Each structure stands twice: as structure tokens, then as C-alpha cells.
Amino acid sequence: MKKLVLGYVVIFGIIGIIVFFASGQDPDALMGVGLAALIGFVIMAFQMRSQWSGTIEDFVEKNVEVGGSDESSHYETRLYAVVRMDSGKKKNVQADPRWKVGDRLVKKRGQTDIQVNPQT
């Protein structure tokens, strides 16, 4: 966890320095980088806090809007795994093409990745 946070700070520090000098040393540009870093950190912390496990029951394709809300946005078809959680609830998780129905997924607290235990 500490390495991840340190890496995050270093990367956004470098981006901040580059943007600061590329913008003619405008301090407002640093505020934008800082805001982006804060939003990203909050999202990452939320993902790392969650923990769950379940079994893949099905796959569904969904059309999702990507690219923002301006004219450059478009729709892409993405594959989601329908996971039956241990609690009995269902959860849609963006799928890895290597996953199969019956695989067990485990998302541990403090990790951003999902571990897969293949069906035997």
C-alpha cells in the first residue's frame, strides 16, 4: 500500500512539474493537476477498501459511453461477468477474456486486482 501511494505521489509530482513549466509557470495549472490527483486517489482508495468474492454465473455485453461527455465520446461494447456473490447478491464486473463460467473471483481489501481461481 505504501509503495502504491508513493508511486502515485511521484507520478503526479512529475506531471505537476511538467504542467507547471509548460503552462508558463501558471499556479492555476498546478491546481488542476492537484485536483486530478485528489480525485484519482479517492477512486483508488475506494477500490482498495472493497472486498468481495463470488462465482461467475454468466457473461453479458453492454454498450458503454467512453471518452467523456463532449463530442469525442462514443459507445463501445464491453464484456461483463455476472458474479454471484457469497452474500447471494449479483455483481457485474468488467470481464477478463480468459475468465470462464464457474471461475471463482476474489477481491481482497488493500488490492486493486481481482484474483481468479479457475473452475476445476
Per-residue model confidence (pLDDT) at position 100: 95
Per-residue model confidence (pLDDT) at position 99: 95
Nearest to 82, CA basis, from 107, 56, 63, 61: 56
Q: Do 68 and 111 fall within a single domain? A: yes
Q: Do 12 and 44 fall within a single domain? A: yes
Q: Do 70 and 43 fall within a single domain? A: no
Q: Do 7 and 56 fall within a single domain? A: no
Mean pLDDT of 42-58: 85
Mean pLDDT across the chain, nearest whole number? Answer: 87
Q: Identify the DSSP state of 12.
A: H
Residue 36: in which H helix or E strand, if any? helix 27-49
Structural domain span for residue 74: 52-117
d(CA 114, CA 48): 11
Q: Do 20 and 36 fall within a single domain? A: yes
Q: Do 58 and 19 fall within a single domain? A: no
Q: Do 113 and 60 fall within a single domain? A: yes
Kindly report the pTM of this predicted structure: 0.62
pLDDT in tens, 72-120: 788 899 999 999 999 999 999 999 999 999 999 999 887 778 999 887 6
Q: Do 37 and 57 fall within a single domain? A: no
Q: Do 56 and 113 fall within a single domain? A: yes
Q: Do 39 and 58 fall within a single domain? A: no
What total number of domains does the chain contain?
2
Q: Do 37 and 94 fall within a single domain? A: no
